Structure 1
Amino acid sequence: MSLLNQYRETELALAELQDRLKKLSSDDRLKAEIEFQNKLRALMAEYGKSLPNVIAILDPQSVKNAVAEPAKRRERQVKVYKNPNNGEVVETKGGNNKVLKAWKAEHGAAVVDGWLQA
């Protein structure tokens, strides 16, 4: 697409947006909402309250739901691996154990996973 075509498309889009803006600015509902917002902000400033304070006053249930305790992660179980070749035992809660990684590199992950004790 040429630069001239992009310019013309952008010009058309700008004209459409300006038309929408003009229609919105003449809408009485928008004027009422802006007036309400301005009066509310002035009232909040007069009493030194923030938006979360006002929400807590008007709807205490929403504050209780927002401050709910975070979900706790389930604790990892200890896994015990026993090397049948030399009888060495490794206890770990994750797969980031140095000895376990060495075993997997040497014997393969599928083989070492078979060494997991019940």
Structure 2
Amino acid sequence: MTKLAEFRAAERKLAEQLSQLENIKQTVGLQEELDFSNELKRLMDQYGMSIPSVLAILKSTPER
């Protein structure tokens, strides 16, 4: 494959991936999940908690 052909193939692949990314960004629940994730990380930092600690707390709590 020539360098130009390789470049064009990479361009097409990138365009497809950018299109997929835009479609994902339009997903209704994405912003809610991002907000939740960011808030959870902020709270974990604030309280000095690690992911395993949070999971242990959640696993020890009865399900609703």
Q: TM-score range by the shorter chain?
A: 0.7 to 0.9
Q: Which structure has the highest strand share of the two?
A: 1
Name segments (4+ residues, structure 1) moved above 6 Å: none
1:13 corresponds to which letter in structure 2? K
**Greater gyration radius:** 1
TM-score by length of 1: 0.47
How many percent of aligned residue pairs carry the same amino acid? Answer: 38
Q: Which structure has the highest helix share of the two?
A: 2
Unaligned runs of 5+ in 1: 61-118
Task: Write the distance in 2 (CA, Å) between the matches of 1:3 and 1:15.
Answer: 18
TM-score by length of 2: 0.80
Residue by residue over 1:24-69, the C-alpha shift from the partner in whole angstroms, topping out at 9 and shown as x without a partner, is: 1222211111111011111112222111111111114xxxxxxxxx
Unaligned runs of 5+ in 2: none
Query: Could you say what the CA RMSD is over the residues aligned between the two structures, in angstroms?
Result: 1.3
2:32 corresponds to which letter in structure 1? A
Task: Write the distance in 2 (CA, Å) between the matches of 1:11 and 1:52.
Answer: 41
- 1:10 corresponds to 2:10: yes
In the TM superposition, what are the counterparts of 1:101-112 in structure 2 within 5 Å? none
2:45 aligned residue: 45
Number of residue pairs the alignment of both structures matches: 60
Task: Write the distance in 2 (CA, Å) between the matches of 1:50 and 1:32.
Answer: 22
